[in-house]
Each structure stands twice: as C-alpha cells, then as structure tokens.
Structure 1
Amino acid sequence: MLVLGIESSCDETGVALVQGEGPGVPRLLAHALHSQVEMHQAYGGVVPELASRDHIRRVLPLAEAVLAEARRSLREVDVVAYTRGPGLAGALLVGAGVACALGAALRKPVLGVHHLEGHLLSPFLSQDPPEFPFIALLVSGGHTQLMQVDGVGRYALLGETIDDAAGEAFDKSAKLLGLGYPGGPALSRLAQQGDARAFKLPRPLLHSGDLDFSFAGLKTAVLTQVHKLGDALDARKADLAASTEAAIVEVLVRKSLMALDRNALGRIVVAGGVGANRRLREQLDAACAQRGVRVHYPELALCTDNGAMIALAATMRLQAGVQQPTTSYAFDVKPRWPLQALASA
C-alpha cells in the first residue's frame, strides 16, 4: 500500500510518500517540506490568507519532487491522504482540495487525517519506534495535551491546557523579549547563554493535583519582569529567556511523570514542535531514566508539521482497520477538531 500524504494546516507545506508493509511499521520513502517562516517574519506571525496562497504554489511541485525522489509515479499511489484538521480553514482547504482532485483524477480513494494524530504517531518513523500502550505529550504552538494511547484511534485525554499552549508561551515570551518570529526557537537558543535560576517565575498548576496546564500567567510574569528591567533588559535578556524556558519545561516534565505514575505505564511519546526543545529532552530523559521509563521522540526533522506524519497516520489507520478511505471526493475540513473525538468516531 502506497500512501501520498499532504499537510497544509498552517505555515508549512509538506508532502510525503509512505509504504505500508503488512502488519509492520510503515516505511517513509520520501518527503519534502516548505516552510513559510521567512514570508511571515515581516508580520510577526502567520497571516492566514498569505499562508493559503503559498500552499497553492508549493503543493504540486513538492509532490513531484517526492515522487521523483522515491522513483514512483502517481499511478502507483493507492491512497491520497490529507490533513482535514485542526488548523487554519483556508490552508486546510488547499490540501484537501488538491488531495481530492488528485484522487478523482487517478480514481484512487482519499482519506482525511487528524493533524494531532499525525504528530502523536510520528515517532513510529524514528530509529526507535514506540510500542502501544504509552502516554503521549502533545506539545506545540497550538496544543498542550497529555493522552493515554492504547492503540491507533484509541486515545483518552488525561489533561490539557486551559489557556495558552506551551509553544504559545514560548512565542509570546519571545515577542516580549524582542526576539521576533518564530519566537520559540529563538528564545531557546538565547536561553543557552543564560542562568535559568536568575528569575523566580511561576509554574502554573504545578501543584494542582490534576494533569491540566496553564501558561497564560507565566506570560504575564515575563511581561512584568520586562517592565521592571526597563533599560537593563538587554543585559539580562538571556537570563530571563533561560528562566522562562525552565518554568515551561518543569511543568511539562512534572505533569508527564505524574501521568505515567497514575496510569502505571512505562513508555512516553513526546510529539509536536516543542518536542524538539533541547532542555525538555534532557530533563525528561534524565527523569525517565531514573524511573526505568522509555522516552520516544520523532526525528528532529519531523517534529514540526510535515507530510510524513500525515501519510503515516493514514497508513496506520488503514492497517489497523479503524478507518476506510473514500471515493467520494466532496470534502470538508475541521479547523477545530478534538483528538479524543477520534476514539468515538
């Protein structure tokens, strides 16, 4: 089974080709990605209309490049998969429209995929793929969730953010520090030069007793420190960045360990853009090693949005028999779509 995957939920256009090989883990044959970061930098954030237009320009050339790299033709594709949601409505419509048009032209079925399920399953393409069941920490610019994952399509929500996501806290704090867009990676790089103990920033909900997150108060605390520092901010910017990163990471690690303990599981998957954060990986690895817990991450190139995770999720859903593709090419998208809704679909 050969699956072509298209990702267009926000500001990255991704296309990939995945080969399903019986009951085994699918194999990534080729993938290509175009990031819109440079285009959106002038605006300090993603402009939805510009994102949609750029997806239109990029998706077919990327598909051609992927097919050429894999030495396959469109006629060999068995299923065309695309991101159905969540994401920016206009951007999602581009990928869905192209996928369904390709399916109709080739007379091949199509399958809409949940963006977060793609992230959650992406470590299966790594050199150290996980096994079910496991705890999943989905942590990105738009989502921070802890899930119990018992199999493909079998997801139970354990906790989530009640306001800002962790990636959002990184980006907003970076903006307060004048680090530009995209802020999260810039803040993390600067943090490596600073003292994480320099500022006592809050760890919201750290002792709440539940598995929910909150990062809006941390952003406010960073803003307060910026105002207090005034003209001295430049001299202390690295310290404030390091202290901010430390606060976010401590909450993520502590809540993840709590989820593992409460559900008596010995394996955790970390997925989403923030999963590439160096401090998060170091601290979670160290804490889990002490407990004999296995930690799995996507390959660094697959932490951000990409077509490989969409093709993979489609292939694994088809292999598990939890979803069938369709030859009805009338499509819709779901800009808001809770991952746990898949469990009852």
Structure 2
Amino acid sequence: MLVLGIETTCDETAAAVVRRKGDGPGEILSSVVRAQVEEHAAYGGVVPEIAARAHVEALDGVLERALKDAGVGLDGLDGVAAAAGPGLVGGVIVGLTAAKALALVAQKPFAAVNHLEAHALTARLTDGVAFPYLLLLASGGHTQLLAVLGVGRYVRLGSTVDDALGEAFDKVAKMLGLGYPGGPQVEKRAAAGDPSRFAFPRPMFGRAEPNFSLSGLKTAVRLEAERIAPLSETDVDDLCAGFQAAVTDVVANRTRAAHRVFAERFGRPNALVAAGGVAANGPIRRALTRLAGEAGTRLVAPPLALCGDNGAMIAWAGAERLALGLADGLDFAPRPRWPLDMAAAAAGAKA
C-alpha cells in the first residue's frame, strides 16, 4: 500500500510517500519538510495566521517534490492522507483541503489522520513494534503517557496538568533570551552548564499517578534568573543545565510510574516508545533508555528527522487505517482539538 501524507498542523509544511508492507516496518520513499523557523523567530513562537499563509505558499512545491522524489504519480498511489487535527485550524484546513482535492481527482481513498495518532504509530513505521506498547508522547503542545493497544485504541495513563514539556522548554528559552525553537537551544546551553548550581524542584516526583506538572519548575527558573540578573553567559548555561536535569528526572520518574500502571492493567508492554519533538532531546533519550533496560524492555525512539512534525508519519497512519478499511469521507471537518483517548478527555484530562 502506497500512501501520500500531508502535515500542516503547526509550522512545518510536509509531505511524504510511504509504503506499508504488512506487519513489519514501512518504507519511506520520500519525505519533504519545509520549516517556518524564520517566519516566526521574531515573535518567539508560532503565529497562527503567518503559519497558515506560509502553508498556502509552500504546499504545492512540497507536494510536487514529494511525489517526484518517490518516483510516483497520483495514479500510482493507493490512498491520500492528511492531518485533520489537532492543531492550528488555519493550517489544518490548508493540508486537509489539498488532500481531499487530490483524492477526489485521483479517485483514491482518503484518510483523515489524527496528528497525535501519527506520532503514536511512528514506531511501527520505523521498527515494526507490535501492540501493545507504552508511549511517551511529548511535544510543544502535548504531554501524555498512553497505552497503545491497536490502531485507534489508546488509553491515556497520565498527562500534564499545566504546561506541555516542549512548551516549558520554549518558555524557559524565551525568558533567558535564547532563540526559537527553544528546546534545542536549552539542550545545547545545558551541555556547557553546571546542573547542580540551582536546586530546582521535581514536580509530581514519586506520585503513583503518572501525571506531569511543569509550571512550577518553569516559575522556579524565572525566579532564579530574576534573582541573579543581569545574567552572564555562564549563568544562562547553568540555568539551562539545572532545568534540563530537573525535566529529565521528572520524565524518567513519571514514565516509570506509567510503566507500573501499564503492567498492572495490560501486562508487560512490548516496548517503551518516545515520540514527538521532545523525543529528540539527548538527555531525555538516555534516561528513557536506562529506564527501559531496568524494566526489561527496549526504548524505541524515531530517528531525529521523524521526531518533529513530518509527512511520513501522516502517510503511515493513513496506510494503517486504510489497511483496516477505515477510509473517511471528503466531508470530514478539521478538528482543532482531537483527543486520542476520548473517555479521558470527557473526564477532563488535559492533553
């Protein structure tokens, strides 16, 4: 099954062609990502109106290159998929409309993909991981620990009660005057700093329920920065190092709690999977690798190029759904909010 995937939920315009080959790993025939870092850098974050306009301007060229790199035309596809949410609705509309038009013209089945499900299934694209597995989904907008039981079957074990992990990194970077996106900047500066200089809190540490809270940690960084201002380069390095160390400890501790809950409810997971932009963070990856070893399982984290938003994960999720006969109508509406675990969302859990 050969599927074209389109991703426009935030500030990457992306398209890819992926081949699904049964139950094993898939094959990425092409993957084109056009980032918008320059468009948003001056604002310290993504501006929805600018993002949507940039998607309109870039998408035709991105699609053309993705098909050309894959050596396939529309008639050679088995389906077309697009991220239909959650995300910035203006951008979602751009990609969703393009995918519907292509599916209509080519008379191919269409899959409306949940962006979060695409992250959740990426480990099956890269490593052919069998269900069930434990997933840490961490990005700028989402922090969740999920039991992935099958395509369309997700149980939220824990989530953040305030800031997402990536959001916390970006806010700390902004308050310290670092560039955008903040996560890589904080990680780079932390590598040169002293993580023991500042005694930052580890919120939720040791609690039985695998939830996160990052707001207090972010506030602690701000208060220390204000206390020692004006900041030297060494001060910034040390603040980043202290923050990075605290976040890494929290992620490992909260994921350990989720593994315990998973084992009690569903048995031993086939893998611990990390997905989303924060999965690219080196110290967090290393901590999760140690945790997986302690738990007698393995860590599966996508290659760095597949940690951020990309079209390959959308194409793969579309292929997984279409293989099960889960095609969508061309009247499918964009969804700014679209929880993976609807029961948890109905109960008021934060994504």
Provide TM-score, normalisation by structure 1: 0.94
**What is aligned with 1:118?**
118
**What is aligned with 2:219?**
220
The answer (yes or no) to whether the contact 2:139–2:164 under 8 Å persists in 1 is yes
**What is aligned with 2:276?**
272
- Which stretches in structure 1 are left out of the alignment for 5+ residues? none
**What is aligned with 1:196?**
195
Partners of 1:15 and 1:2 in 2: CA distance: 13
Partners of 1:89 and 1:113 in 2: CA distance: 14
Report the AA paired with residue 82 of structure 1: A
Give the alignment partner of residue 296 of structure 1, picking from 287, 290, 300: 300
The answer (yes or no) to whether the contact 2:321–2:327 under 8 Å persists in 1 is no
Partners of 2:202 and 2:67 in 1: CA distance: 47
**What is aligned with 1:324?**
326
Displacement of 1:125 after TM fit? 2.8
The answer (yes or no) to whether the contact 2:111–2:321 under 8 Å persists in 1 is no
Displacement of 1:237 after TM fit? 1.0
SS for the counterpart of 1:339 is coil
**What is aligned with 2:205?**
206
Partners of 1:343 and 1:152 in 2: CA distance: 17
The answer (yes or no) to whether the contact 2:276–2:308 under 8 Å persists in 1 is yes
Report the AA paired with residue 306 of structure 2: L
SS for the counterpart of 2:56 is helix
Flag the 1:104–1:272 CA change in 2: closer, same or farther, 3 A.
Answer: same
**What is aligned with 1:339?**
340
Displacement of 1:23 after TM fit? 4.0
Flag the 1:19–1:277 CA change in 2: closer, same or farther, 3 A.
Answer: same
Regions of 4+ moved over 4 Å: none
Partners of 2:231 and 2:171 in 1: CA distance: 20
Report the AA paired with residue 342 of structure 2: A
Report the AA paired with residue 18 of structure 1: V
The answer (yes or no) to whether the contact 1:124–1:298 under 8 Å persists in 2 is no
**What is aligned with 1:28?**
28
**What is aligned with 2:162?**
163
Displacement of 1:278 after TM fit? 0.3
**What is aligned with 2:349?**
none
**What is aligned with 1:89?**
89
The answer (yes or no) to whether the contact 1:26–1:316 under 8 Å persists in 2 is no
**Is the deviation greater in 262-271 or in 212-221?**
262-271
The answer (yes or no) to whether the contact 1:125–1:298 under 8 Å persists in 2 is no
- Alignment RMSD, CA only? 1.7
Is residue 62 of structure 2 the alignment partner of residue 58 of structure 1? no
Displacement of 1:135 after TM fit? 0.6
Flag the 1:343–1:259 CA change in 2: closer, same or farther, 3 A.
Answer: closer
1:98-157 CA distances to partner (integer Å, 9 max, x unpaired)? 11111111222211000011111112232x442211110000110100001112111101
**Is the deviation greater in 178-187 or in 80-89?**
178-187
The answer (yes or no) to whether the contact 2:26–2:128 under 8 Å persists in 1 is no
Provide TM-score, normalisation by structure 2: 0.93
SS for the counterpart of 1:200 is coil
Partners of 1:2 and 1:259 in 2: CA distance: 35
SS for the counterpart of 2:17 is strand
Partners of 1:317 and 1:229 in 2: CA distance: 53
Partners of 1:129 and 1:238 in 2: CA distance: 39
Displacement of 1:324 after TM fit? 2.1
Partners of 2:132 and 2:224 in 1: CA distance: 42
**Is the deviation greater in 24-33 or in 45-54?**
24-33
- Which stretches in structure 2 are left out of the alignment for 5+ residues? 346-351
**What is aligned with 1:260?**
259
Displacement of 1:236 after TM fit? 1.3
Report the AA paired with residue 337 of structure 1: W
Partners of 1:343 and 1:197 in 2: CA distance: 37
1:44-92 CA distances to partner (integer Å, 9 max, x unpaired)? 1111111101111111211111111111111111211000100000000
SS for the counterpart of 2:67 is helix
